[in-house]
Amino acid sequence: MRGFGERNQLERSQAIRHRFLNAMVERSVTISVLMLHLVVFGLGAYLTYNEEITLGTFITFESVFWELSYNIGHVTQFIPVTITASGATRHINDIFEEPSRSQDSPDAPGVPRIQNAITFRNVQFSYGGDTRQIRNLNLTIPEGSRVAIVGPSGSGKSTVLSLLLRLYDPTGGTIRVDDTDIVQSRRDSLREQMAIVFQDNLLFDISIRENIRLGNPAASDEDVERAAKAAEIHRFIRSLPNGYDTVVGERGNMMSGGQRQRVAIARALVRDPAILLLDEATSALDHGTEQAINRTLMKVAAGRTMITVTHRLHSVTEMDKIFVLEKGRLIEEGTHAELLKRKGVYAALWKQAG
C-alpha cells in the first residue's frame, strides 16, 4: 500500500504540474498579445494625432493586428495538445522497438498440423521474481478432444494458453504438438493452425464481412458466409438491410453481446483452425445467451481440438476431459462426473457455483 500511495502522489504532482504549464502557455501568449496591443495602440494613436499617419491607416493596421493576434492565440491552444501527442507517439515507438522476448532461429522448422496430441511435460513458468505461475505441469490433450482448464482465480489457467500460443516461452520443461517442441519451431507455423476467442472481442467500425475476414484476409465471400453459418449468425446477418455489408459501429456497438461473440467465433472459424482456444469466451454473457453460445461451440468443435479456459463450470460439463489447476499445479483431471465423485477441489468449486 505504501508503494501504491507513493505512485499516486507522484501521478498527482505530475498532473498538477502538467495542467499548470498548459495554462501558462495559453495565458502567457494571451497576456503578451494584449500588452503588445496596448503598445501598438498607443503608438498608433500618437502618430495619428501628430498626423504622421491617417486615421484610415491606423484603423486598417489595428484590424490586421487583431486578426493576426486572434490566429496566434488560436494556434497556441494546440501547443499543449501537440506536446502530449508527441509524448504518446514516443511511448508507442518505444513499444514497437521493444525487443521480442525470444526470437525464432532462422533455420527453425515449422509445426505440422496436429495429428496426435498436445503435451505439456514438466512445464514451469514465471513472469519474474521467485514466484512461479506454472509448476511442473504435465498434461496431454488428444487431437480432436474437447478439454477445459479450470481452477480458482490466479491458478494459472490463462497462462497455459499464453504458453501454448507462445506469447511466452516456458522457463522449464517442454510443450509439444505431436513430437515437435514448439519452442524450437516457428511461431507463425504454430499460430496458423490456431484460433482464439476471448471474453471481450474487438469488432472494428467496418462491415460484418470485413470483421469476419480479419481472421483470414485471403478468405472468399463464400468462406466468410460458411464460417458465419457455422457460428449460427448467418441468418441474423441476412436479415439486416445491408446484410454482410452492414457496418457494426465502434467496437461493434450496433450489435448485442451475444451477436458480437458469434461474429468473433466466425472470425476464428474462417481460419479453419485445427486448435480452437477459448479464453472465458462466454463469461460476460447472460445465462441464456451463454447456453446458446456453448451449444454452438460444441458443434463447431467437431473435428478440432478445443481448449477452453473458464471459471463458469456449468459450461464445461460436457467436455471430454477437465483439468483442474491450483497455484500453477495440475491437481485433478477427468470428466465432470468423475471429478464430482472424487469430492476434491473441482467438487468444491462446483458447489460454490451453485
Rounded CA gap, 212 and 255, in Å?
A: 14
Q: Which fold has domain 117-353?
A: Rossmann fold (3.40.50)
**Burial letters 222-258, b for 16+ CB under 10 A, else e:** ebbbbbbebbbbbebbeeeeeebebebeeebebbebb
Alpha-carbon gap, residue 195 to 277, rounded angstroms: 6
pTM over 0.85: no
pLDDT of 282 above 90? no
The Cα-based distances of 158 to 152, 163, 296, 315, 346 in angstroms read 12, 9, 22, 17, 18
Identity (one letter) of the amino acid at 175? Answer: I
pLDDT digits 0-9 by tens, 156-181:
888 999 999 998 889 899 999 998 89
Give pLDDT tens digits for 289-342.
Answer: 778 888 888 888 888 899 999 888 888 888 999 999 988 899 999 999 999 998
